[in-house]
Amino acid sequence: MIKKVIKQLLILSCTIKIIGLFFVFNLPTAYAKFDQKRLYITNIAIPTGMAALRAHFEGTSIKKAIIQSIFGGYIMQESMKRAAKIEEKSALYAWETKLMFNLGASLCESAGYKDFTFKMDVGPVWIINQGNDIKFKFGINGVMAPILHLTQGSKFDYKKSLKYGTMVFEKKQKKNGNLYGSNALAYSTANTFVTNHDGNHSGHELIHTYQYRRNCLYPIQIGDYWPEFTTKYFKEDKWVDDTGWFLNWSLQCGWSSWRNKDKDYDIPLEQEAYYMERYRKKWEP
């Protein structure tokens, strides 16, 4: 009972904190230029604030949690820079980058807990490793997103999927370069992305899939607000609640339409992905 109350309090306080941080650091400055400071805030400061809070509630060392999370956040940030160059690189480089990012995210996620848990999404499945125990679970968003792409007429591209370690789909291009059924050159929905036949903009879209992994660090999943979602419909023994990206993206899109801004360029998720493109060789300011 006490544990349950503590968990509820943790979720509540973390949620308040996240919403606070979101407003303080992201939304009011969302339309200012994304810069190095915001990169540190998004990848290192916010996960580390969360880790310190977790350590406080779990009764573990706050100092250790902070150090672990800063390290994890730094790895996430550096892997995002690598992801920007992915189109010109090999499959080995892409998989190394994905492993690095997931290691960074897992370090942040585990900071404040007694045990380290490694979590990585591969297509619709999550690999969860703690000590000698390995579990495989389905991601809720991880399963929904590819089904959605197939119903929208996208073709599964197994070659690009194997290269990038994420599910990639292909759509035909209109004369203006946009993909059919969309106003974008390429787009991502959480753990998946869609490009033209040549796979242009894969680096940018891959960064969005990493943002999806990063969103799993926070208590912003549907199940955090609607417990039946994971106790009744998508039970935790088989499913991972990875719906945080969807909530975050929807919130940011809502904000952009309220402020008459463009959701494809002006929201923080997009600004970060565009900012990262400078780490690609071909980038020209």
Q: Closer CB to Zn ion, residue 46 or residue 273?
A: 273
* Options 24-32, 58-66, 79-87, 273-281: segment touching Zn ion (CB under 5 A): 273-281
- Expressed in angstroms, the distance from the first to the final Cα of the chain is 56
Q: Which position among 30, 50, 217, 273 is part of the footprint of Zn ion (CB under 5 A)?
A: 273
Paired tokens of 49: 């604030």
Residue 41 as a binder of Zn ion (CB under 5 A): the answer is no
Task: Report the alpha-carbon angle 102-104-105, nearest 5.
Answer: 65
Residue 194 as a binder of Zn ion (CB under 5 A): the answer is no
Using CA atoms, how far residue 88 sits from 91, 185, 274, in Å, is 10, 18, 17
Using CA atoms, how far residue 95 sits from 98, 163, 206, in Å, is 5, 7, 12
Residues from 212 through 271 that contact Zn ion (CB under 5 A): 270
Paired tokens of 215: 């969103």
Least distance in angstroms from the C-beta of 20 to Zn ion = 26
Q: Closer CB to Zn ion, residue 41 or residue 273?
A: 273
Residue 179 as a binder of Zn ion (CB under 5 A): the answer is no
Residue 84 as a binder of Zn ion (CB under 5 A): the answer is no
Residue 186 as a binder of Zn ion (CB under 5 A): the answer is no
Least distance in angstroms from the C-beta of 49 to Zn ion = 26
Owner of token pair 């090999």: 90
Q: Which long-range contacts (CB under 8 A, 24 or more apart) does 134-139 make?
A: 137/237, 137/238, 137/239, 137/240, 138/238, 138/239, 138/240, 139/191, 139/239, 139/240, 139/242
Total binding residues toward Zn ion, as defined by CB under 5 A: 2
Least distance in angstroms from the C-beta of 259 to Zn ion = 18
Residue 83 as a binder of Zn ion (CB under 5 A): the answer is no
State whether residue 103 is helix, strand or coil: helix
Environment class of 42 (CB within 10 Å of its CB; exposed 0-12, middle 13-18, buried 19+) = buried
Q: Closer CB to Zn ion, residue 49 or residue 268?
A: 268
Least distance in angstroms from the C-beta of 184 to Zn ion = 8
Q: Closer CB to Zn ion, residue 128 or residue 251?
A: 251
Residue 190 as a binder of Zn ion (CB under 5 A): the answer is no
Least distance in angstroms from the C-beta of 270 to Zn ion = 5
Q: Closer CB to Zn ion, residue 70 or residue 273?
A: 273
Listed in sequence order, the residues at least 6 apart from 190 whose beta carbon sits closer than 8 Å to its beta carbon are: 141, 142, 145, 208, 209, 212, 242, 245, 246
Q: Closer CB to Zn ion, residue 91 or residue 185?
A: 185
Residues at the site binding Zn ion, with contacts judged by CB under 5 A: 270, 273
